[in-house]
Structure 1
Amino acid sequence: MRHPLLGEIEQYIERHGLSPTRFGRLAVKDPRFVYDLRAGRTPRLVTQSRVSAFLRQADS
C-alpha cells in the first residue's frame, strides 16, 4: 500500500525539479528514502513529521 505522504513528495519533486535522491538527502538525510517509500516502506512517525515540516517550510 502506498503511503499518503508519498503523493505529496512526488508532487514536490516534480514541482521543484529534484531527484528522489536529492529530496531524501535534504528532507531526512537518507538518499534512499523516496525509493524505499515507493517500495512500500512505512516511515516512523518522527520521520513523517520531519518530512511534513520540510514540505511546509519549503513551500511557504
Structure 2
Amino acid sequence: MSMLIDIDRFLRRTNTAPTRFGREAVNDPRFVFDIRRGRECGGKVRARVYKYISAADARPGRCG
C-alpha cells in the first residue's frame, strides 16, 4: 500500500496524469488505476516505479 501512497504523492507534487505515469514508468497506462483497485506488483515492477520517481525528481528544473 505504501507504493500507492508514494505514487499518489508524486502525481500531486508533479501534476502528472496517472496514465502518463503508468505509461512512462512501466509501459502500462492503466497501471495506477489497477494499483488503486488492488493489483499486486512484484519486486521488478516496484523497482521500476521507484527508479522512475527518483529519476524524475532528479531532473534539473523539476519543481516539487
TM-score under structure 1 normalisation?
0.89
Give the SS at the match of 2:48. helix
Measured in 2, the distance between the counterparts of 1:16 and 1:4 equals 18
Mapping for residues 1-60 of structure 1, pairs under 5 Å: 3-60=1-58
Higher relative contact order (CA 8 A, sep 6+): 1
Shift of 1:20: 0.6
Shift of 1:38: 0.2
String of CA shifts for 1:3-43, please: whole Å, max 9, x gaps.
21011100111111111111100111100100010000111
Q: Which runs of 4+ in 1 moved over 6 A?
A: none
Structure 1 residues without counterparts, runs of 5 or longer = none
Structure 2 residues without counterparts, runs of 5 or longer = 59-64
Q: CA RMSD for the aligned pairs?
A: 0.8
> Structure 1: which amino acid aligns with 2:41?
P
Measured in 2, the distance between the counterparts of 1:43 and 1:32 equals 13
Percentage identity across aligned positions? 41
